[in-house]
Amino acid sequence: MSTSAHTQQQSMTPAGSALSAQLAGESEELAQFVADFVAVPSVTGDEGAAAEFLEAWLLQHDFEVTRHHISPDDLERWPDCAGEKDLDARPNIIATLRSPNPVMAPVVLNGHIDVVPTGDVSRWTRAPFSGERSGGRIYGRGSSDMKGGIAAGLFAVRALRDAGVALPFDIEIQCVVAEESGGLGTLSLMRDRPMPAAAIILEPTETRIVTACGGAQPFTVDVVGKAAHVGRPWTGVDALDKVLLVHDRLRRLEAERSDRLSHPLFDQLPRKAPLSVGRLEAGEWRLTIPDVAHWFGRIGTLPFETINDVRAEVVAAVAELASDPWLRDNPCVVRFDGPGFAGWETDATADMVGALAASVSHLTGDPTPSSATYGSDAAVFAQAGVPAVLFGPGSMSEAHCKDESVDEAELTYAAQAVAMTLAQLGDSESFRSTHERTRA
């Protein structure tokens, strides 16, 4: 054991160890709860039944429960989410654990109850919403992403309450809808609730502590050529040839960015901020030289970059193709036609990160901060200045895939780590003094 891990272990509170033991005794109940939760389908747009399931469980276990509805105004405020429907039937569900003496802003645990569609059901070996338990795993859509994480958070907070741990902050467990379609559940909730002191987003990280995340901007490049009969191609300009120049230039942009940009949590990745083409389109008829072509793709960003900076780099790179006489006279058009999301990063010295690292060390896990390259609700918190981390059971390599599953032992481990972290934050003078409410 390293010296620093040893120090962290010594600093674990007695309450932390007791919580860990208590949750170990509840592992069967936790696994069955996840199985039952997975068995209530909640594909984005149709989360009502899962919200009711959760609410019923919370009331049965004496939680204070609030239903929060996304308001129709929110659709105008966030136009990227304007397609959301049936808002009355899809509430966010919030469970609150009150502090006897809340001198600080609340600490939030956040997870989405919506899941992505199953895809071709015939490719699953088990029914996607069976919640079947087998070989120490729970199977079904949403088991990893992220009903397992929500369950770990709920059991962690219930254990804190049952153990009588008094914290100086309220805990809000936000179980939100509409994450997979753009994040309106959390966006709307953040506007209506007090700004938290810290947030753990319980996404599947294989219980790694993720403190930094890349962003992405989708875009399209339109290229024109000049149609001609294939028997006389020299009389036209092939738009496919021209769009391949675009692709080439964009690939070089990715390489240049990779050389120029550096971030300790991204430098070891094979590609730090990937640029990719998802679809390439040219022409419409086998016997005609294509007169239009389109490049559809996206570019990744690092946490310290703004979306506008990256957009400007793409535009400048494509503009350089004016060295080609045809493209000088017929410039490519770049369209940023999908919602971009910026990356984010939480300082590794934040109390939240330290408490989580100490808890994970105590449980003999790996406390090294890590990075992610996918969008999540953590961005909403981080961009509002709230120290946020991703931490949860399950794996992104299970998420959105057939036969999605989560490991039962990992659920308990995550619940223990979250409970210990909250207890540790409750004891932290530094956390308290940073986030103490100013008294009137």
Q: How far is the CB of 247 from Zn ion (least distance, A)?
A: 31
Residue 175 as a binder of Zn ion (CB under 5 A): the answer is no
Q: What angle do CA 360, 364, 365 make, to 5 degrees?
A: 55
**Residue with smaller CB distance to Zn ion, 138 or 250:** 138
Specify the amino acid at residue 66. Answer: T
Q: What is the total count of residues that contact Zn ion (CB under 5 A)?
A: 2
| Largest CA-CA distance found in the chain, in angstroms, rounded | 84
Residues from 265 through 304 that contact Zn ion (CB under 5 A)? none
**Residue with smaller CB distance to Zn ion, 145 or 172:** 145
Q: How far is the CB of 156 from Zn ion (least distance, A)?
A: 18
372 burial class (0-12, 13-18, 19+ CB within 10 angstroms)? Answer: buried
Q: How far is the CB of 79 from Zn ion (least distance, A)?
A: 22
Residue 345 as a binder of Zn ion (CB under 5 A): the answer is no
Residue 351 as a binder of Zn ion (CB under 5 A): the answer is no
**Residue with smaller CB distance to Zn ion, 145 or 291:** 145
Residues from 109 through 168 that contact Zn ion (CB under 5 A)? 145-146
Minimal CA–CA distance to 155: which of 394, 357, 388, 414? 414
Provide the token pair at 263: 């971030």
**Residue with smaller CB distance to Zn ion, 176 or 317:** 176
**Residue with smaller CB distance to Zn ion, 146 or 275:** 146
Q: How far is the CB of 304 from Zn ion (least distance, A)?
A: 24
Residue 407 as a binder of Zn ion (CB under 5 A): the answer is no
Q: Phi and psi dihedrals of 426, rounded to 5? A: -65, -30
The answer to whether 418 touches 382, Cβ cutoff 8 Å, is no
**Residue with smaller CB distance to Zn ion, 247 or 402:** 402
Q: Phi and psi dihedrals of 4, rounded to 5? A: -70, -40
**CA 247 to chain centroid:** 29
The answer to whether 382 touches 248, Cβ cutoff 8 Å, is no
Residue 206 as a binder of Zn ion (CB under 5 A): the answer is no
Residue 254 as a binder of Zn ion (CB under 5 A): the answer is no
Minimal CA–CA distance to 407: which of 221, 43, 136, 189? 136
**Residue with smaller CB distance to Zn ion, 146 or 389:** 146
Q: How far is the CB of 115 from Zn ion (least distance, A)?
A: 8
**Residue with smaller CB distance to Zn ion, 253 or 372:** 372
Residue 84 as a binder of Zn ion (CB under 5 A): the answer is no
Residue nearest to Zn ion (CB): 145
Q: Which residues contact 370 (CB under 8 A, 6 or more apart)?
A: 205, 208, 209, 210, 211, 265
Residue 410 as a binder of Zn ion (CB under 5 A): the answer is no
Residue 307 as a binder of Zn ion (CB under 5 A): the answer is no
Q: How far is the CB of 241 from Zn ion (least distance, A)?
A: 41
Terminal C-alpha separation, the chain? 47
HSE at residue 144, side-chain half, CA atoms within 13 A, is: 20
**Residue with smaller CB distance to Zn ion, 145 or 398:** 145
The answer to whether 249 touches 321, Cβ cutoff 8 Å, is yes
Q: How far is the CB of 185 from Zn ion (least distance, A)?
A: 12
Residue 404 as a binder of Zn ion (CB under 5 A): the answer is no
229 burial class (0-12, 13-18, 19+ CB within 10 angstroms)? Answer: exposed
Residue 38 as a binder of Zn ion (CB under 5 A): the answer is no
HSE at residue 61, side-chain half, CA atoms within 13 A, is: 17
**Residue with smaller CB distance to Zn ion, 145 or 305:** 145
CA 407 – CA 151 distance, rounded (Å): 13
Taking CA atoms, 257 is separated from 163, 304, 317, 384, in Å, by 51, 13, 11, 27
Q: How far is the CB of 145 from Zn ion (least distance, A)?
A: 4
Residue 377 as a binder of Zn ion (CB under 5 A): the answer is no
Q: How far is the CB of 177 from Zn ion (least distance, A)?
A: 12
Q: How far is the CB of 331 from Zn ion (least distance, A)?
A: 39
Residue 202 as a binder of Zn ion (CB under 5 A): the answer is no
**Which residues are at the interface with Zn ion (CB under 5 A)?**
145-146
